[in-house]
Structure 1
Amino acid sequence: MKTTTRVARVLTAAAAAVLLAAPAHADPRVGGDIGVHYDALGGAGSALGQPVGGEVRTPNARGAYVEFERGGIWWSPATGAREVHGEILSAWGRTGWEAGPLGFPTTDETRTPDGRGAYNVFEGGSIYWSPPTAAHGVRGMIRDAYAWAGYEGGVLGFPVTDEVRTPNGRGAYGIFQGGSIYWSPATGAHVLIGAIREAWAARGHENGPLGFPTSSEFDVPGGKRVNFQGGYVEWSAATGARVNAPVSAPAPWLPPGAPAPSVPAYYANCAEARAAGAAPLYYGQPGYRPALDGDGDGVACE
């Protein structure tokens, strides 16, 4: 009889401990780590609202999730329980949820330091949102370059596209409020902004003679420069952007009546320049390249 009473007391104490440890706003449909995190966020009073179902195993069997009125909480052993909601949730869904390249979330939605937007970090990248740009993913080496440039607080601002494959299939890019990041396996990921980016775009982007960037913008005497597979572009306030011509050189002298080259202003050889009616090509004139100027006198294909 005494043993039975002692066991009953132990069971009663254990039950009380469980009740005391249970989340104050616990919902019977939400348990485990997901339930604990839901309660920590504020339960039904949080941005997620009420649960609309119970815990579900993810199709890849790597974790579980619970859907709520305005979002969800995803859990995996490696990432713990994290919430995703709103436009970031929709953007993540476009990539294939946890089975896509981003994987499981590793943070809850977080306000950006400048207060202009929000983001979630995932196993394979991040999704950034702001009112004017909506939500877009950044991942891989493009994300690394974005971090190098200062994330949304840097010159690039927020992303305005997801990662996009280049038309030639040789790389990818992301467009941001203040510029672009281009990547290829051969060149890595590099930041393009301002007049240098515009000069490169005017010559066909990565499909033009310059190809992909091999550096981000860096300082040179008197201005800025970006290197490309097929040359370089330099810029200064005095000269603007120059393709394959240094800004430290004097302005080109063009004799009266010098012919304007046809578009595109790139010639593989002098025969091609002459056939287009563009020869001779003077230093600083579109189409001039040192490789065509055999004697280095500033006049090519004379």
Structure 2
Amino acid sequence: MDRMTRVLAALALATTLGVGLTACSGDDGGGSGDTAAPMTAEEMTTTNSAPVPGPAESTVHIPVAVADRWEELGGQQGDLGRVTGPATAVEGGSVTDFEGGSIVLTPAGRAFVVQGEILAAYDEAGGPAGELGFPVSDETTTDGGWISAFEHGTIAFLDGRPVVEVP
């Protein structure tokens, strides 16, 4: 399979995955159909927070949804390691940095992991405030690398380099 075919296949997968996640993102699983109003970035990063171990044995307060996701992934023993500081509010959501990557909290309250070379490319593209917007899924594997889907595009890590696609 040539490089372009792999990129197109990865984009098709990410688009399909992103559409599916976006379509169900308003459903809290409760079945009532009612959705709560999204919290403000300040509420997500301050009032609804949980203490987690930070640098130099300190405690850092991060959004509860981020703390829950971090715990699901193994907490400080997981791939992300310790939090490096408090969440940064951005575009109605937040970004919390860890030793091994970041967890991006969307305005809808969903927490997605962005890491490695994809995180570096995402940061370079402006992160959630850039043209890609917020993640709509976690990174997935694809033929020859990894891919992350965002509101307005994808970043694939193929053949040892990131490929940013914005339609």
TM range (shorter): 0.5 to 0.7
- Say if 1:140 and 1:208 are closer, same or farther in 2 by CA, change over 3 A: same
* 1:44-99 Cα shifts (integer Å, max 9, x gaps): xxxxxxxxxxxxxxxxxxxxxxxxxxxxxxxxxxxxxxxxxxxxxxxxxxx7xxxx
Matched residue, 1:176: 98
Q: 1:239 deviation in Å?
A: 3.7
Name the aligned partner's letter for residue 193 of structure 1. Answer: Q
- Say if 1:139 and 1:207 are closer, same or farther in 2 by CA, change over 3 A: closer
Name the aligned partner's letter for residue 181 of structure 1. Answer: I
Q: Supply the RMSD in Å over aligned alpha carbons.
A: 2.1
* 1:199-241 Cα shifts (integer Å, max 9, x gaps): 11111111111001111111112111111001111113x2411
SS of residue paired to 1:182: strand
Percent of matched pairs sharing the same residue: 26
Query: After superposition, where does 1:22-33 map in structure 2 within 5 Å?
Result: none
Matched residue, 1:128: 53
* 1:79-124 Cα shifts (integer Å, max 9, x gaps): xxxxxxxxxxxxxxxx7xxxx645xxxxxxxxxxxxxxxxxxxxxx
Return structure 1 stretches of 4+ with deviation > 3 angstroms: none
- Say if 1:239 and 1:160 are closer, same or farther in 2 by CA, change over 3 A: closer
Q: Which of 107, 110, 113 pairs up with 1:188?
A: 110
Name the aligned partner's letter for residue 208 of structure 1. Answer: G
**Structure 1: unaligned runs, 5 residues or longer:** 1-94, 103-124, 245-288, 292-302
Measured in 2, the distance between the counterparts of 1:130 and 1:228 equals 29
SS of residue paired to 1:216: coil
SS of residue paired to 2:61: strand
Q: 1:185 deviation in Å?
A: 2.7
Matched residue, 1:213: 135
| TM-score, normalised via structure 1 length | 0.37
Q: Which of 145, 162, 165 pairs up with 1:241?
A: 162
Matched residue, 1:199: 121
**Does residue 64 of structure 2 align to residue 143 of structure 1?**
no
Q: 1:187 deviation in Å?
A: 6.6
* 1:130-185 Cα shifts (integer Å, max 9, x gaps): 52x6321233211122123221111111001122311x3x1112111111111123
Query: After superposition, where does 1:277-296 map in structure 2 within 5 Å?
Result: 291=167
Measured in 2, the distance between the counterparts of 1:187 and 1:208 equals 19
- 2:55/2:85 contact within 8 Å kept: no
Matched residue, 1:37: none
| Larger helix proportion of the pair | 2
Measured in 2, the distance between the counterparts of 1:101 and 1:233 equals 30
Query: After superposition, where does 1:47-62 map in structure 2 within 5 Å?
Result: none
Matched residue, 2:40: none
- 1:187/1:213 contact within 8 Å kept: no
Measured in 2, the distance between the counterparts of 1:195 and 1:240 equals 8
Q: Which of 131, 140, 153 pairs up with 2:77?
A: 153
Measured in 1, the distance between the counterparts of 2:78 and 2:128 equals 24
Measured in 1, the distance between the counterparts of 2:81 and 2:107 equals 25
Matched residue, 1:282: none
| TM-score, normalised via structure 2 length | 0.65
Name the aligned partner's letter for residue 172 of structure 1. Answer: S
Matched residue, 2:146: 224
- 2:52/2:67 contact within 8 Å kept: no
- 1:138/1:162 contact within 8 Å kept: yes
